[in-house]
Amino acid sequence: MTAFDNIRLADDAALEEAARILRAGGLVAFPTETVYGLGADATDDLAVAAIFEAKGRPRFNPLIVHLPTAAAAEGIVVLDNRARALARDFWPGPLTMVLQRAEGCPGSLLASAGLDSLALRVPGHPLAEALLRRTGRPLAAPSANRAGALSPTSAQHVAASLGDRVPLILDGGPCLLGLESTVVDLTGQRPALLRPGAVTREALEAALGPIAGSDSAAAIKSPGQLSSHYAPALPLRLEASAAGPREALLAFGPEVPAGAAETLNLSPSGDLTEAAANLFAHLHALDRPGLAAIAVMPIPESGLGAAINDRLRRAAAPRG
């Protein structure tokens, strides 16, 4: 076995294999015009959790969901006139729009990192488009590198960073742009540029009018800048070994104390990937009026546990 035997030239057979892996909840690295993405079925919480696991991400940043066409965004997000104008002008292409999740949005809450928005992009690369069409699912895909490493612009970069953490790397040659997509947030009154990229501020302003910069208050919406960005309405009580009758219990592992008003278990078997997949959905479900708090059992700090605990600590942080 050579070091790079998970790289395959992206021919018809490899695309078919990639689509099969993705539909089964697996990971595939694929080329886009910006950088290589580490893709998973964006409607599958467990598959999305596997992305964070493979990247070794210490926290759950929200992910960009990739679509084959702009029309595929219907029913996933709320498209206003500004979004439609940008889609017409810049999709397919290196532009990501952060939009309000639609009612009944099929996208994983983990891909949104618990936010009520979702980032979408229609990549302008024929292999990415072909993969999206064949898979028939929206694909969540951050850059295909370990956390903290540089974004990969070739299949070899992906293999060097992720190794056998990804079963298949589709080789489409070097990326044309080599720089991650522009991210614009359209959830507020005024659009905000969250990440500069190949679609320039000037180009966006020509389509939309003035845009708030990343130094403005609007850009505080960019996750990671806030100590508490997804917080349930109920206070969180961490490291709980028991829960009272007016508390909801977010449990982990096989041994769950009785006595809570309501209990949801992140993973009865103590599996951290499963726990990550369930985290935001369970927090939303337990966040009910009438209760005093959500008590959270201890989660080990190893592997994805660090990311889970990071989010829990943020959700428990004093509210500003």
Binding site for ligand TXA (CB under 6 A): 32, 34-35, 37, 61-64, 96, 98, 112, 115, 117-119, 121, 123, 141-143, 180-181, 183, 185, 194-195, 222-223
- 267 contacts which partner out of Mg ion, ligand TXA, none, CB within 5 to 8 A by kind? none
Residue pair 55/145 in contact (Cβ under 8 Å)? The answer is yes
Segment contacting Mg ion by CB under 5 A, of 140-148, 222-230, 257-265, 274-282: 140-148
Q: Which is nearer to ligand TXA, 32 or 267 (CB)?
A: 32
- How wide is the angle at C-alpha 113 spanned by C-alphas 112 and 119, nearest 5°? 30
Q: In the numeric block, which tokens belong to residue 55? A: 């990247």
Segment contacting Mg ion by CB under 5 A, of 138-146, 211-219, 276-284, 307-315: 138-146
Shortest spacing between CB 136 and ligand TXA, in angstroms:
19
Residue pair 309/228 in contact (Cβ under 8 Å)? The answer is no
6, 143, 153, 154: residue in contact with Mg ion (rule CB under 5 A): 143
Q: Does 182 bind Mg ion (CB under 5 A)?
A: no
From CA 91, how far away is CA 159, in angstroms rounded?
29
How many other C-beta atoms lie within 10 A of the C-beta of residue 286?
A: 24
183 strand-pairing partners: 96, 195
Shortest spacing between CB 95 and ligand TXA, in angstroms:
9
Residue with tokens 């990326």: 175
- Residue of 32, 90, 86 lying closest to 64 (CA atoms): 32
Q: Which is nearer to Mg ion, 149 or 306 (CB)?
A: 149
Residue pair 25/121 in contact (Cβ under 8 Å)? The answer is no
Q: Which is nearer to ligand TXA, 19 or 51 (CB)?
A: 51
Residue number of the CB atom closest to Mg ion: 143
- How wide is the angle at C-alpha 155 spanned by C-alphas 154 and 159, nearest 5°? 120
Q: Which is nearer to ligand TXA, 26 or 62 (CB)?
A: 62
Tell me which residues touch Mg ion (CB under 5 A).
143
